Amino acid sequence: MNVNLEIIFDYYNQKLFNNELPKIPVKFSDDIDCAGICHCDFFMKKMHPKLNLLQNYYVPNTLLIEISSKYKDNYQRIEAILLHEMTHAWFYSYDKPKIGHGKKFRKKIRKLSAKAGFKIPYRYIEEMA
Ligand SMILES: [Zn+2]
């Protein structure tokens, strides 16, 4: 099966994220131990002058999504993994970068799942980063 990840990304960026995500490279990888991963670089933690909090700052244009080649033939899995990783990308771009799989992340996933009409996993059985 020949899956075009860019096309799936564009489709869901429009359908579920109102095209709020920047254009992010998406590729299959043989080298990752988890189902999917969203890479992103941050400026070093520094003190936010007004909030008096330590914050990470996302470095623009450093996002990259990788999906394990194991799922190359499982279209439903690919969609679910990709949407999970796109949600990380959304938080990296617009909200707290180091949100992990916390409460806010799960709330967003629930909203997106309802919109998509299928369940996007909070985490994956095979540890998704
Ligand atoms: Zn994750």
> Residue 99 is part of a domain; what is its CATH number?
3.30.2010
pLDDT digits 0-9 by tens, 28-81: 999 998 899 999 887 766 666 676 666 667 788 899 999 999 999 999 999 999
CA of 33 to the centre of ligand 1 (A): 13
What total of structural domains would you count in the chain? 1
- Report the alpha-carbon distance of residue 93 to residue 85 in Å, rounded: 12
- Report the alpha-carbon distance of residue 14 to residue 2 in Å, rounded: 22
- Report the alpha-carbon distance of residue 21 to residue 46 in Å, rounded: 25
CA of 128 to the centre of ligand 1 (A): 5
Give pLDDT, residue 7: 96
Give pLDDT, residue 123: 81
Neighbours of 81 (CB within 10 A): 25
The structure's pTM equals 0.86
- Greatest Cα-to-Cα distance within the chain, rounded to the nearest angstrom: 52
CA of 10 to the centre of ligand 1 (A): 20
CA of 84 to the centre of ligand 1 (A): 6
- Tell me phi and psi for residue 60, to 5 degrees: -55, 150
Whole domain around residue 40: which residue ranges? 5-127
Give pLDDT, residue 33: 87
Give pLDDT, residue 109: 95
